[in-house]
Structure formats: C-alpha cells, structure tokens
Structure 1
C-alpha cells in the first residue's frame, strides 16, 4: 500500500512537468527598413534621439524643474505606480497557489462532572472528577497537484500582467514629460505673442497720435483717423485673449505637476529655446524594444495566451491533497506521545463529465481574447511607426516653414519701416503704411506659432521614439 502511494505521487510529479495550452510565440511583424520622412534622415549608426535623457533634450532649467516636480507629484503617475503594486501583489497571491497551504489548529477542553447531575454517569467516571481533553495538529489545508499546468499558466498570466503594468507606468512617464514640455513651450510662445501684441499696441498708439495731430492740421482725413484707431483696437483686443490663454496654460501645468492652480515661474525666453541640431531616429527595429506601450501590449498578449492554458486545463482531472498531523489525548502532558499521535491524509479527485458546453465556451472565450490582444499588439506597433513618421514630417516641414516665415517677417519689417518713413514725409498715403503694419503683426504672430510647432515636433518625436522613461 505504501509503495502504491509512492508510485502515484511520482507519476503526479512527472505529469506536472506538462502544461496544456499554447506556448507564447511573438507574432511576425513587418518592420519597415526606415522611417518615412520628407528628406533623408541623418546617418545615426543606430543612435536615436530617444537615447538622450530628457534633461539633455530640454536645456531650460525651469522646464527641467517642472518635469522633476511632475515625476514626483503627478497623480496619473501615482495611479500607474499603485497599479504596478497591485499587479505585484496579485502575482504573489496567484503564485502561492502552487505551494501547499499549511496551518495549525488545536483546542483544550476542561470538564468537571457534577455528583448530583441529572444524567447517569458512565461507570468509568467518578463524580466530581475533573476531565481534560486536548488536541493539536498541523493541517495541510489544501494543495492542488498541478497536473496539467493550470496554476503555472495562471502564474504566467499574472507575471505578464505585472510586467505590463510596469510598462504602462513607463508609458505614463513618457507621456507626462511630453505633456509638461509641450505645455511649457506653449506658455512661452503665448508670452512671446503677448509681447508682440503689447509692442504693436504701443507702436500703433504712437502712430494714432501722429494721425490725430495731422488730422487736426488738416493733413489727414477722418478716414485716416478711423483706420488708425481700428489698428489700435485690433492690437488691444488680442491682449486679453492671450492673457486668458496664458493663465489657463499655467493652470494646465499646475495640474500636471500635482499642484493647485498657480502661476508658473519662467526660464529661458521663447526666442532662446534651443533645439537639437539633429534628431536621429535610430533603427526601426529598436522601436519595438524602446516604446513602453508596445512592450505593454505584448505583455497583454502573453497574459491572454496563458489564459488559454488555464481554460483548457479545466477539461482534465484535478487532484487535491488535504490532511493533518498531530495528537489527541485526555492528558495534556502526553499529547504528543507515541500512542496519542494522529494523522489524516485525504487525496481528492474531481473530473468534469458534463458541463453543457461551459468549458468549451471558456476556451473559445480565451482564444478570442488572445486574438484581440494580438491585433491590439500589431496595431500598437503600426501606430508607433505612424507617430514617428508624423513627428519627423512635422519637424522637417515646420523647420522649412520657419525659415520662410522668418524671411517674410524680415521683409515686412523693412517694408513697414519704409512705408512709415514715406508717410511721415508726405510722399505716400497712410493706407500703405497701415497695410504693412497689419501684415507685419500677423506675420510675427504666425512666426511665433511656427516656432512653437517646431519645438513641439521635437517633443513629439522624442515621445514617439519612446524616450523619457529611462
């Protein structure tokens, strides 16, 4: 009998080396040879902008401080960290099911029989004699022999969920750095546009005074005066709009850094913000390993694949072991002596026979969920390549636009200066000067917006390449 149990347990250990369900294999992915961009990218020999630390990409010390504060206090990041902790605890709980659960139990009973009791005493008991009873044991609460790998597949899925949660945390870090940098550059651009508007307002107000004096002397017409007033009012109207946008952007930054709405200390001026001289994108294959969202999607696929094994294992028999080892005695002093020892060993076997399709449906559900996770993984990869290409296109095209816009502003500045000289000298009409002034104001605001787009394109490229979480 003893050898039979040894054979059974040995066979169970051999079987536990198996695990039903498919082993994970990474899906085949068509990786493009290079990132799509309007012009050939600089030779990088595998280097990428994403390899740089975020404080090496953004040179504004105040921006760096805002990013550090956000990484410490942002609530979205705190939520992501708590999800990692929850996934780690879930893995520990799931993995513990692979091991025996052992507990301890015991009780002591003290009894005294009354001499005048209402029930008849057994002959072995003497009235008024104390009787003690005790028992103690180590309990094998439960232990499932993992014959078909059900518990190992569940642990595999829980481990993948933990790794996926960690990758999601890294993705939140990347997004957070990008959002803080974008909001800060937007704030500095609005500051710059406000300076342009205030400077234009002062210039136009000076011109209005000139027109008023000329109109009083009969040189300028009432129409000239109204046109000059219109330009002043136009510049003045942009100021509160920009101030509103500035204050709301400060609130946005405050939220990102985990603070109540407040003002934001500025660093470098908008015109002083530096851009990397080159923005190498690196190898396309490296993107799969660098972007946290891609790795998170793959871990989701691994977890879904493992759940198929859990579902398929439900078809097969389950073997559970319970038992105890201890002692029972009426004398506490001899509770653990040889004759009073007690043990129990209870193997339990269960096998589903008829489930009305429940098990089959469970497997189909797991397979469908796996297929969806695989499609999501492939979509995430395609989205990543699209985002990198979009950022490269935006960076190159906005740089070209910025060069052209700078030339336009320079030409309009010269035109406006000459137009006012001719107007003050009585050589030309006020209309040409006003048109030049109007065109210059709009061109300067447009140039500020184009420069902002160029800065943001670098931020977006940095995020698209998976930089920032290192």
Structure 2
C-alpha cells in the first residue's frame, strides 16, 4: 500500500469515526426516574414476625373439604383463568418471534418464466443479434429458470435485537405473574363467597327459629285476648311481627341463590346446588395469621413482581429505541443456478450465480419518528416506575388494613357474643313478665326483634372474620404457589 492509499484510508477512517461520534452525540438526552422500593421495617402497631402465612399452600390454609373441592375445580375450569393462560401462550410466542429476529433468515427459491422483447427496441435488437455460441441463436421467446438459496442477517451491533428479546422475556414472565395474581384472587373470591353462603344458611336457620318463637308468642297473646287481658292491637302487632320475620327468609333465600350461582360461575359450571355443611359455620375459628415482614411482599405478591418485570421490560425498550439512532449492518447473500433452458440449468460455472452484500445504514435527516419512539419509551418507563411504587404501596396498605380489621373484629365478636347471650335470656324474661302483666306487648316485641338482629350481626361478624382471614392471605400473596 503506497503513501497516498494510506493517507486516503486514514481520512476515510477519520470520517467514519467522526460520523459515528456525530450519531452518538445526536441521541436526545432523557430525564429518568429511579424506582423507590423502600418499605417500612414492620407493619404499624405490629411486632416483627419472621413467619409468613403466604408461604402456606392453599390446600393447607383452607381445611374445609367442600371448599377445597370448589377451589380445585375452579383452577381447572374458570374461564378468566383459562383466558389468562392463553395470554401466557401469546407472550411465549412473542419471545420466540424476538429470538428469531437476530438469527439469520435462510430460504430457498425456485422460479420459471418466459419473456418476449419487442424486436424494434434497443434490448430486443441487441438480443436478436446475439448468439449463445457460434451457430446457436438466442431463443425467442426467452425462457428463464432459477433455483437457489438466499440469506439475510442483521448484525446486532448495538444489542437492539437482543434487548428486544430480553424485553419480550420480561413481559412473558410478567404474564406468568399476572396469571398467579388471577389465581390468588380467584381462590380468595371463592373462599369469601363460600363463607358468605355458610353465613346465609345460618341466618336462615335463625329466622326459622325466631318464627317458631314468635308464632308461639302469638298464640299466647290470642289466649290472653280471649281472657280480656290484652286488646286487639296487641294481637295485630304480634301478627305483623311474625309476618315480617317470615318475609325475611325469602330475602335470605334469594341471597343464597345468588351466592351459589356466583360460586358456580367462578367454578365454570351452570347453576346447581353447592355442597356444604352449614353446621360447620359455628365451629369456624379464624386461624392465626403471620404477616411476615413488609419486604417479603416484593417476593410473595404476584402483582408486585408483575409490575417489577414490566418496569424491567420498559427499561429495555428504551435501549431498543436508542439503538435505532445508530448505524445498522445488514448482510445478504444469494447462491443458485439460472438459465434460459433447463438443460443448461446446472452447468457450472456458466449457470452459477452468487452474491454477497453488506449494507451499513444510519438515519441522518428527519428522525422525528425515531425520536418520538424514544421519548415514548422513556415516558412508558417512567409510568412503569410509578406503577411499581404504587403497587408496593397498595400491597402494604392492604396488609395493614387487614391486620387492623382482624384485631378489631376479634374484639367485636367477643362483645357481640355477650350481647346475644343477654338478649336471648331477655326473651324468656320478657315473656314471663308479659304473662304476669308486668311488661307490655311492645317490650316483648322489641326484645324479640333486638335478639334477632343481634344474632344476625353475630353471624355477620363471624363471616367478616373469615373474610378477613381470606383477604389477609390474598394481601400477603398466598394461594398461587
């Protein structure tokens, strides 16, 4: 290589380096936001607890065999869960597509055709006077046969294609966590509905017991009226109370039907009786809940892990968008045979053709679309940061709320139990006083109504206790594992 060639080569290299440096410097600067994953060391007003109920499998957390059967069936048949599983398959195929983009594309090609050029044109006239070899004229019309292979490959200099694949993998994994979140919510919704169904069964039983008590009281009032100890007004008041209580059972029956059908919908089947043991409700005692540490929410909650993976994908999207500002190198190659007659098609080297091309392209002017995609990727990444922080905050608050609710419901249930005992005893006392004319009929009616309401409230409180236990399990991130 002479001195002039060396000088020319050096200038060309300097021009190339300057061009690359210019491209680097033309990438717009972005304002980024860093996620804050710090959480309190422990839950407010709660001691540190190293144990975590979220790590208990749902089969061990829920011990009612009828409830376990419902959950197991729902995990197989629930339509929403099955839809989510197909979204998982879509995300998996997206990973496969992104992986294929940075591998060489290779294909086979075959073609056949015929071409007749007009005689009185420059190309037609030149082909008419051209012989294939001495004494053998160019055929007319001219046939064309081709067999060969072709390949193309974009060299991933800046990691654009690899980062796109990594982003697709992160979104696939976030879809997995999304499926886990659906599982967690599905289990919680079925359990809550099941305990509500047991509570309604018990309320219906209470109503039936009260109807029997009030019907008996009505008989006594009618006897006393015949004895002229009470008037017709007292009889009508007792009759109205019996009718009011009897009407309550139909409201409860309707709620039972709707709750059963809600469970059937979650299980993925048409309306039918939901098997259960209503008598087991009285023996239900909420299990002790271990909340663990707030930092464990980042590991256990599927929605938190999903938000984290979406953030990771958004960060990779920025790298992909940034790489579009830089030059891209593409390599293409072709090899095959081409001839105007099949008998010459495989003649080598006469019919052999091949090519190898390298293209280096870079955006220079009017890069608005690339800039817009870059800015959008950054905006979505910032959105993902805030969504991640919001999800963590929401998870912490949900656990804190349920911890407080469990404690308050436990105290409330104790007091309401005493209230029920007192009012139940007062029914007998009011009846005795009424028979001895030391209490009027309104006191008896009010005592019966208060006793009925207190027993209803006690059942409602126990249902809320069981729901709080279920919701705490869900808030901690249990069920999906």
| Residues 431 and 401 of structure 1: CA distance in aligned 2, closer, same or farther (over 3 Å) | same
Count how many residue pairs are aligned between Structure 1 and Structure 2. 444
Partner of 1:65: 69
Are 1:106 and 2:110 an aligned pair? yes
Structure-to-structure mapping, 1:168-207, within 5 angstroms = 168-207=178-217
CA deviation after TM superposition for structure 1 residue 356, in Å: 5.5
2:34 and 2:385 in contact (8 A); partners too: no
Deviations 1:64-91 (A, max 9, x none): 1111111111111011111110000011
Alpha-carbon separation, structure 2, partners of 1:310 and 1:128 = 53
Partner of 1:442: 453
Task: Determine helix, strand or coil for the equivalent of 1:285.
Answer: helix
* Aligned residue among 342, 345, 354 for 2:356: 345
| Residues 387 and 220 of structure 1: CA distance in aligned 2, closer, same or farther (over 3 Å) | same
CA deviation after TM superposition for structure 1 residue 240, in Å: 1.2
2:184 and 2:479 in contact (8 A); partners too: yes
Alpha-carbon separation, structure 2, partners of 1:401 and 1:336 = 96
* Aligned residue among 35, 38, 41 for 1:33: 41
Are 1:209 and 2:227 an aligned pair? no
Partner of 2:332: 322
Task: Determine helix, strand or coil for the equivalent of 1:47.
Answer: coil
Alpha-carbon separation, structure 2, partners of 1:179 and 1:273 = 21
| Residues 399 and 450 of structure 1: CA distance in aligned 2, closer, same or farther (over 3 Å) | same
Are 1:227 and 2:232 an aligned pair? no
CA deviation after TM superposition for structure 1 residue 121, in Å: 9.5
Alpha-carbon separation, structure 2, partners of 1:415 and 1:256 = 43
The more displaced of 444-453 and 421-430 is 421-430
Alpha-carbon separation, structure 1, partners of 2:224 and 2:278 = 42
Alpha-carbon separation, structure 2, partners of 1:251 and 1:171 = 23
Task: Determine helix, strand or coil for the equivalent of 1:238.
Answer: helix
Task: Determine helix, strand or coil for the equivalent of 2:477.
Answer: coil
CA deviation after TM superposition for structure 1 residue 383, in Å: 0.1
2:184 and 2:480 in contact (8 A); partners too: yes
CA deviation after TM superposition for structure 1 residue 160, in Å: 1.0
1:294 and 1:380 in contact (8 A); partners too: yes
CA deviation after TM superposition for structure 1 residue 277, in Å: 3.6
The more displaced of 102-111 and 311-320 is 102-111
| Residues 136 and 27 of structure 1: CA distance in aligned 2, closer, same or farther (over 3 Å) | same
CA deviation after TM superposition for structure 1 residue 339, in Å: 5.2
Partner of 1:311: 321
Task: Determine helix, strand or coil for the equivalent of 2:359.
Answer: strand
Alpha-carbon separation, structure 1, partners of 2:283 and 2:189 = 17
Partner of 1:260: 270
Are 1:248 and 2:258 an aligned pair? yes
Deviations 1:305-347 (A, max 9, x none): 1111111111111111111122335555872745543211121
1:134 and 1:335 in contact (8 A); partners too: no
Are 1:359 and 2:370 an aligned pair? yes
* Aligned residue among 42, 49, 52 for 1:48: 52
Deviations 1:392-415 (A, max 9, x none): 111111111011100110111111
1:61 and 1:267 in contact (8 A); partners too: no
Partner of 1:293: 303
Partner of 2:6: none
Alpha-carbon separation, structure 2, partners of 1:176 and 1:336 = 69
* Aligned residue among 157, 165, 172 for 1:162: 172
2:36 and 2:389 in contact (8 A); partners too: no
CA deviation after TM superposition for structure 1 residue 264, in Å: 1.6
Are 1:84 and 2:80 an aligned pair? no
Partner of 2:384: 373
CA deviation after TM superposition for structure 1 residue 265, in Å: 1.8
Alpha-carbon separation, structure 2, partners of 1:260 and 1:332 = 70
Are 1:388 and 2:399 an aligned pair? yes
Gaps of 5+ in 2: 2-8, 116-126
Deviations 1:217-268 (A, max 9, x none): 2122222212212221221121111111111111111111111233322235
2:161 and 2:320 in contact (8 A); partners too: yes
Are 1:411 and 2:422 an aligned pair? yes
Alpha-carbon separation, structure 1, partners of 2:182 and 2:442 = 54
Alpha-carbon separation, structure 2, partners of 1:373 and 1:298 = 8
Partner of 1:218: 228
2:91 and 2:168 in contact (8 A); partners too: yes
Gaps of 5+ in 1: 112-118
1:132 and 1:332 in contact (8 A); partners too: no
The more displaced of 418-427 and 391-400 is 418-427
